[in-house]
Chains A and B, each alone.
Chain A
Amino acid sequence: MAQLKQEIAHLPRFSPERLRIEARKEQRKARLLTLFIYTFLIVASLPIILGYGWLVLNSFSETLAYGVLPKGWTIKNFRFLWELPSRYYPDLWRTTWNTLLLAVGMTIIMILVATPTAYVISRMKFPGRNMMLAMTLILHSFPGVTLLISLYYVLRSLGLLNSIVGVFLVKAGLMLPLGIWIMKGFFDNISWDVEMSGLVDGATRMQTLYKIILPQVKPGIAAMAIFSFINGWSEYIYVITFIQKKESWTLSSYVNSIIGDFQFIDYGLLSATALFYILPVLLFFIFTQKYLMTVTVGGTKG
C-alpha cells in the first residue's frame, strides 16, 4: 500500500495515469472484500452444509472414514423400508401415513377456518370485532408450554389422547390466531371497489367471496397451506407428549426411538430414517422457499 502511494506520488493529481492506478487499487480492495465475505459465508455455513451433506452421504454408505469421507456405497441402511428395525417398532408405512394425516389435517383446518374468519374480520362490521382482534393477539402471547399441560387435560377429557386428530386440532388451534392475522393482511390488500362492483352487478356476498375475492388471495392461502403442512409434518413436542400408543406414532416418535436404540450401534439406520423423514420437507422447501421466506417472520421459534 505504502509502495503504491510512493509510486503515484510524483504524478499530477488528476492525470489519467494516476487515476487509472487509483482505480485499480480500489478494484483490488473491492475484490479482497468480496473474497473475505464469501469466505465468511462459506466457513460459517459449513456446519449446515456438512450436517445435511452427511445426512445424505451417510445414509448411502457403509462407513465414514474420519467421520466425514464415505466409503462403500450401499442401500442396506434403508432396510427399514421393508423390515422392522426391531420387533418393538410399529409399521413404517402406517407411521408415515399418520404423519401425513397430521400434516394434511392441520392444513385443511387452517385453510377452512382461518380464511373465512379473516375475511369476516377484514370486511365486515359486527359487534365484538375489535375484541376478537385483540383476543387473537393476546392469545398469541400465551406460549405453547403454558398450555401444554392443560391441553393434555382437555384432550384426555375429550378422549383424544393418543390420536392424530387430537394433535392436529391442538396444533391448528394454537396456529389459528397467527393464520387469521396473516390472511387478514391479504384480504385487507384487496380494494373495496372490486368487491363492490361484484355486488352492484347483482352477486350475493357469498358469490363475490367465491368468484372475486378468493382467487385474489390464493397466494396467501398457498403460503399458509405450505407453512401448515411443513409445521404439522415436523411436529415433535405435541406428538411425543400426547401420543404414546405405537399405532399412532408419527415419524418424529419413530426417529426419536431410533436415536434411543441405535445411536451408537447403527448410524446408517439413524441417518437413513432421518433422511426419509425430511425428504418431503426438503422437496417442498426447494420449490417454495420464496413463499416460506415471507411467512417465516411470523414463526415463534427461537
Chain B
Amino acid sequence: MKRRGYGMIVLLLLPALLIILAFYVVPAVLTGTMSLTNMDHRLSWNFVGLDNYKAMLQDTILSRVFWNTLLYVFGTLLCFNVTFGLLLALATSYIAERQAERTSMFFRALWLLPRFTPPIVYGVIWLWILDPTRNGLLNGILNFFGGRPVSWISEYPMPVIILTNGVIGASFGMILFYSAITSISKEYTWAAEVDGAGWLQRIRYVTLPLIRWPLMFVTAYQTLSLLTSYEYILIITGGGPFYRTTVWSLYAYNEAFGGYYASYRFGYATALTLVLVLISMVASIIYWRVFRFREMMSEPKIEVI
C-alpha cells in the first residue's frame, strides 16, 4: 500500500523534475562551469581558471556599465516603481472609494496593459513617440509649436530608458499598494476625519504608516527585478549610444549574443552574469537588514494585506 502511494507521487512529480533538471538545474551548473572557460561560438571547453573574473577588473567599460546600472535601477525605482506606483494607487483608490469603482478599475487596467503587451510592440509605440523626425508624437507636437525636432533617444538616452521601463514598472507597485490601501480598515480613516484631517494629512498620518511593509517589499523586490531586466533597453536603445544605456545584464547579453561588436564571448558573459547574481544577493541582504524584514516575517504586523 505504502509503496503504491510513493509510486504515484513519483509519477506525478517526474515531469516537473525532468523539466526543472534539464532547463534549470543543469544550466545553473553549466553557467558556473562556463565562467571558468574562454568558450566562444565554437562551444569548446577551454578552462582558464579565474581569468574571466580578472578580466572584469581591467574592463574599462565595466565601471561605466556599473554606474549606468545604479542610475537606471534607482532612478526607475524612485521615480516610477515606488513613487509613481504609490501616486497611482492613491488616486485610483480615492476614486474607487468615493465616485466610481469602474473608472478606477479602468485606470488600473490601463496601467497594467503595457506589462502584458508584447515587448516588441511596446517598443514600437515608444519608437514612434520618441521618433527623431516630426513623424513622432513629441516632435510632431514640437513642430506644431514651431520647434525643431529633437532626437530624444540619442540625446537623452538614460531618461528615456528610465521612463520606458518606469511606465511598466509602476503597475506592480500600483496593484500591491492599491490592495493594501483599500484594505485599511475604515475606522482609522473615520477617526482621522473626525479629528479634522484633510486628504493629505490622512495619507501622511494614516495611509503611509499602515502600508509601510508593502512599500518596503516593493522597493526591495523591484530592485532585484530591475537589476536583471534589460529587454526593453535592448529594444529601444540597444544599450547605446556608445554604452550610455548599457546596464550590467544587457552588457552580459551583448557580450554573448550582441553580434555586432562582440561575438559570442560565452565564458566572459557567464562570469558577468554570475557577478550580477552576487550583486543581487548583496542587495537582498542589505534590504533584509535595513528594512528589518525578519520583523515582518515573525509577527503579523501588517493588518493591511
Known A-B contacts A41-B107, A67-B140; the reply to A142 vs B277 at CB < 8 A is: yes
Q: How many residues of B contact A (CB 8 A)?
A: 99
Which residue in A132, A148, A156, A302 is a CB contact (below 8 Å) of B225? A302
Instruction: Please state if B120 and A44 are interface contacts (CB–CB under 8 Å).
Output: no
B297 sits at the interface (CB 8 A): no
Known A-B contacts A153-B34, A176-B19; the reply to A234 vs B222 at CB < 8 A is: no
Main secondary structure of the interface of A (DSSP, over half): helix
B189 sits at the interface (CB 8 A): no
Instruction: Please state if A206 and B253 are interface contacts (CB–CB under 8 Å).
Output: no
Chain B residues 258-302 with CB under 8 Å of chain A are 266, 269-270, 273-274, 276-277, 280
A73 sits at the interface (CB 8 A): no
A97 sits at the interface (CB 8 A): no
Which residue in B81, B110, B229, B235 is a CB contact (below 8 Å) of A45? B110
Binds A, one of B48-56, B58-66, B93-101, B205-213: B93-101
Known A-B contacts A50-B137, A51-B128, A54-B137; the reply to A296 vs B115 at CB < 8 A is: yes
Chain A residues with CB under 8 A of B15: 112-113, 116-117
Instruction: Please state if A147 and B31 are interface contacts (CB–CB under 8 Å).
Output: yes
Chain A residues with CB under 8 A of B95: 34, 37-38, 41
Instruction: Please state if A117 and B124 are interface contacts (CB–CB under 8 Å).
Output: no
Instruction: Please state if A119 and B135 are interface contacts (CB–CB under 8 Å).
Output: no
User: Chain B's nearest CB lies how many Å from the CB of A176?
Assistant: 6
Instruction: Please state if A274 and B228 are interface contacts (CB–CB under 8 Å).
Output: no
B43 sits at the interface (CB 8 A): yes
Instruction: Please state if A153 and B22 are interface contacts (CB–CB under 8 Å).
Output: no
Chain A residues 151-188 with CB under 8 Å of chain B are 151-154, 156, 169-170, 172-174, 176-177, 180
The 0/1 profile, CB within 8 Å of A marked 1, for residues 211-223 of chain B is 0000000000010
Known A-B contacts A48-B111, A263-B127; the reply to A172 vs B273 at CB < 8 A is: no
Q: How many residues of A contact B (CB 8 A)?
A: 90
Known A-B contacts A67-B136, A169-B19, A256-B120; the reply to A146 vs B172 at CB < 8 A is: no
Instruction: Please state if B167 and A173 are interface contacts (CB–CB under 8 Å).
Output: no
Chain B residues with CB under 8 A of A297: 172, 175-176
Which residue in A50, A58, A255 is a CB contact (below 8 Å) of B121? A255
Chain A residues with CB under 8 A of B30: 150, 153-154
> Which chain A residue has the least Cβ–Cβ distance from B233?
A302
Known A-B contacts A143-B280, A145-B253; the reply to A299 vs B111 at CB < 8 A is: no
**In the complex, A201 Cα to B176 Cα: how many Å?**
43
Instruction: Please state if B175 and A296 are interface contacts (CB–CB under 8 Å).
Output: yes
**In the complex, A119 Cα to B8 Cα: how many Å?**
12
Known A-B contacts A47-B167, A270-B124, A302-B165; the reply to A147 vs B16 at CB < 8 A is: no
User: Chain B's nearest CB lies how many Å from the CB of A291?
Assistant: 11
Which residue in A145, A149, A177, A230 is a CB contact (below 8 Å) of B228? A145
**In the complex, A66 Cα to B133 Cα: how many Å?**
11
Instruction: Please state if B27 and A301 are interface contacts (CB–CB under 8 Å).
Output: no
Instruction: Please state if B199 and A33 are interface contacts (CB–CB under 8 Å).
Output: yes
User: Chain B's nearest CB lies how many Å from the CB of A243?
Assistant: 12
6 closest residue pairs by CB, A with B: A67-B140, A173-B23, A143-B228, A302-B229, A234-B118, A150-B30
Sample of 17 more A-B contacts, CB < 8 Å, known A68-B140, A146-B273, A293-B112: A37-B95, A55-B124, A66-B134, A117-B16, A126-B6, A143-B273, A145-B230, A146-B276, A148-B257, A149-B31, A153-B43, A173-B23, A252-B118, A278-B117, A297-B176, A302-B76, A302-B169
| Residues of chain A having any CB pair with chain B under 8 Å | 33-34, 37-38, 40-41, 44-45, 47-52, 54-55, 58, 64, 66-68, 109, 112-114, 116-117, 119-120, 124, 126, 132, 135-136, 139, 141-154, 156, 169-170, 172-174, 176-177, 180, 205-206, 230, 233-234, 236-237, 241, 251-252, 255-256, 259, 263-264, 267, 270-271, 274, 277-278, 281, 285, 289, 292-293, 296-297, 299-302
